[in-house]
A and B are shown apart, each in its own frame.
Chain A
């Protein structure tokens, strides 16, 4: 099954995209060094990285594109330019090994929080990829419609405004809502897509469209039921008759809907993570696991190994008793540039491990003020977090519940984040 990120053959560029593209290509052509492409989920980092890789491969002899940060070959084996998607997944050692190769040109695509980790890499440059400028949205929508085989003025101006507001100008969300809005309009038999169709698209996406009648599928005859249709490639409208245009509208709208619901279900409503994205305690910032969209059938990688083989679980007695609760894991971080805190972090990790707690390698993060030291993210982990607090003799205060913003990537159940406070001056 195809990845949810669309093919690079369907790029609709916007100013921010083109600027980032030029900057990345120039950075690699300038020679060795690290440059990061940072942007929120859905802004098109993967597409851009593939596009840049293609451009560079036409000019440079050794250009390697790696799809996931946890699948980067040994740094010793790399040469020339290497472009790494989902760099958030790279562990600290792999990142450090890359930084130690002064002969490599490295592009790292990641979510904005990755900037914290970049601070440890001297000389790393950052290129950001953000949403589409408001002024560009009408052109962007028109080009996208043409790509899909529709007339470029299919949306009314107020529909475009609604689309801009509802999508936040994030390309992936804009694409999804656009497809659903076209579908909604087709159901009404409308000639053009209006703002009310965009509103219905949002309902479709959020699954709040409640209909009236109960079921009537006969589940017993699946082999006699109409065969599913293959996705329809929609030809440009230029040569189509009005009747054909209408048929294409309907068929195309269904195809777009199906694609979009898949993407929307997996990516938008349920956070930017598709099926089995392996999760490990993320050493950075919030303990949210790095999550990306991938289709189900690909065998996912095993969870990134915990820093050492897990000792008997915190909530389990000695021996392989399977715990009924979550398996507590502590993500430990300390303020960057604070050697004292780094030492204390290592001490705390040793202490907790000696007591049977699974603890990730302490990682440096941008110092944060007025943030409680011990955080948990699920109600069910309250007791586990409190137990960690007790093991630390209450030196770092009580465990505090941290509410994640909606749509943020979910941490693994059982994740306890421990932010070591800065050293006393």
Chain B
């Protein structure tokens, strides 16, 4: 129940919490993109969905320097798992186009569906084009392609939050020749052992994982698990730590 309340709190409070996120939106609307980036950076690090979405828009559109769709996809994924439906929609478009992420229509569908749950549905054009792109992949359907952890990146330090610690886990999801799901493991790396902190299946290429308030060093990885074949393939481990600001 506590976790439900935390989730609710995150979903409800995140968009409205720090004023700089709203200031960032005003700067963005006024096309002062460098200022918007500056104003959004700190709230984004604290998990503000609006700020993460905004930074994604800056990166995708090349509003403050060259476009970086891979960075945009990561920002969108982080915002989406924090409840930003529009970010989920935009990430769906990136997966549909294969821009900044591998082209993966399953993931495009999954993120469109996530956006639709929040009231942002794909346009008829999105859907029509998505269907036009659908083609079976060549190759052995039993072969699974590993996903690649993106965020937190290797040796990244994420700020310790005041409440229950959580982290947005994002991975690049290559298309699969057969149906598959993701399984994510997070372990606390302690002196002489690894301790389970989070484990769970996901159909989308990102999720929000609860961490252990007593731990600071972590490692995570993602498995691609076949649904039609009894196989899985694991990504490499990625270490990160939670640091006091």
* A residues adjacent to B (C-beta < 8 A): 1-2, 4, 66-68, 71-73, 207, 209-217, 219-220, 222-223, 225-231, 254-255, 257-259, 261-263, 265-266, 269-271, 273-280, 289, 291, 295-303, 305-306, 309-313, 316, 318-320, 322, 324-327, 377-380, 401, 403-404, 406, 410, 412-413
A146 to chain B, nearest CB (A): 23
Contact mask B206-245 → A, CB, 8 Å, 1/0? Answer: 1111111000000100010101101110100100000000
Task: Mark B79-116 against chain A: 1 for CB-CB distance below 8 A, else 0.
Answer: 01111111011100110111100000010011011111
| A296 and B116 contact, CB distance less than 8 A | no
List the B side residues contacting A277 at CB < 8 Å.
200-201
Residue of A at shortest CB range from B11? A297
Instruction: Please name the 3 residue pairs, one residue from A and one from B, whose CB atoms are nearest each other, closest first.
Output: A262-B113, A219-B97, A1-B117
Provide the residues of chain B in CB contact with A220, threshold 8 Å: 67, 99
Decide: A324 and B234 in contact? CB cutoff 8 A.
Answer: yes
- Cβ proximity bits B151-162 to A, threshold 8 Å, 1 near / 0 not: 000000000000
Complex alpha-carbon distance, A259 and B117, angstroms:
7
A303 vs B7: C-alpha distance when bound (angstroms): 16
B143 at the interface (CB under 8 A from A): no
> Chain B residue with minimal CB distance to A329?
B196
Closest to B62 in A: A220
Contact status of A322 and B219, CB under 8 A, knowing A71-B4, A223-B57, A303-B196: yes
Tell me if A265 and B201 are in contact (CB < 8 A).
no
Q: Within the complex, which residue of B90, B125, B181 is in contact with A410, where a contact is CB–CB below 8 Å?
A: B181
A254–B202 CA distance with the chains assembled, in angstroms: 25
A278 contacts B4, C-beta separation under 8 Å: no
Question: Is B61 interfacial (CB-CB < 8 Å)?
Answer: yes
Known interface pairs A273-B201, A278-B198; A222-B60 also in contact (CB < 8 Å) = yes
**A377-B201 contact in complex given A255-B121, A265-B109, A309-B195, C-beta closer than 8 Å:** no
Q: Is the CB of A299 within 8 A of B208?
A: yes
Cβ contact within 8 Å between A210 and B197? no
Across the interface, name the chain A residue whose C-beta is closest to B166.
A299
Question: Is A406 a contact of B11 with CB atoms below 8 Å?
Answer: no
User: Does B19 sit at the interface, judged by CB under 8 A?
Assistant: no
Residues of B within 8 A of A213 (CB): 132
Q: Are A322 and B202 in contact (CB under 8 A)?
A: no
Please tell me if the beta carbons of B194 and A322 are within 8 angstroms of each other in the complex: yes
Known A228-B123, A299-B10, A320-B189: A1·B212 in contact at CB below 8 Å: no
Question: Known contacts A296-B81, A299-B210: does B203 contact A410 (CB below 8 Å)?
Answer: no
State whether A413 touches B230 (Cβ < 8 A). no
Partner of B132, one of A212, A261, A410: A212
Cross-chain contact B199 with A228 (CB below 8 angstroms): no
Interface residue from A227, A254, A300, A310 paired with B208 (Cβ < 8 Å): A300
Q: Tell yes or no: B118 within 8 A of A by CB.
A: yes
Residues of chain B contacted by A4 (CB below 8 angstroms): 117
**Which chain A residue has the least Cβ–Cβ distance from B228?**
A406
**Are the CB atoms of B116 and A210 closer together than 8 Å?**
no
Asked whether A279 and B201 contact (CB < 8 A) given A215-B129, A231-B116, A401-B230, the answer is yes
The answer to whether A228 and B210 touch (CB under 8 A), given A222-B61, A320-B193, is no
15 A-B residue contacts at CB 8 Å? A209-B134, A214-B133, A215-B96, A228-B86, A228-B123, A270-B179, A275-B204, A279-B201, A296-B202, A299-B3, A300-B3, A302-B210, A303-B198, A310-B194, A413-B234
Find B227's partner among A270, A279, A310 (CB 8 Å cutoff). A270
Q: Do A412 and B195 form a contact, CB below 8 Å, given A223-B57, A297-B11?
A: no
How many Å lie between the Cα of A2 and that of B119 in the bound state? Answer: 9
How far in angstroms is the closest Cβ of chain A from B98?
8
Whether B113 contacts A413 by the Cβ 8 Å rule is no
- Chain B proximity of A63: nearest CB distance (Å): 15
- Interface 0/1 of B177-199, CB less than 8 Å to A: 00101011101011111111111
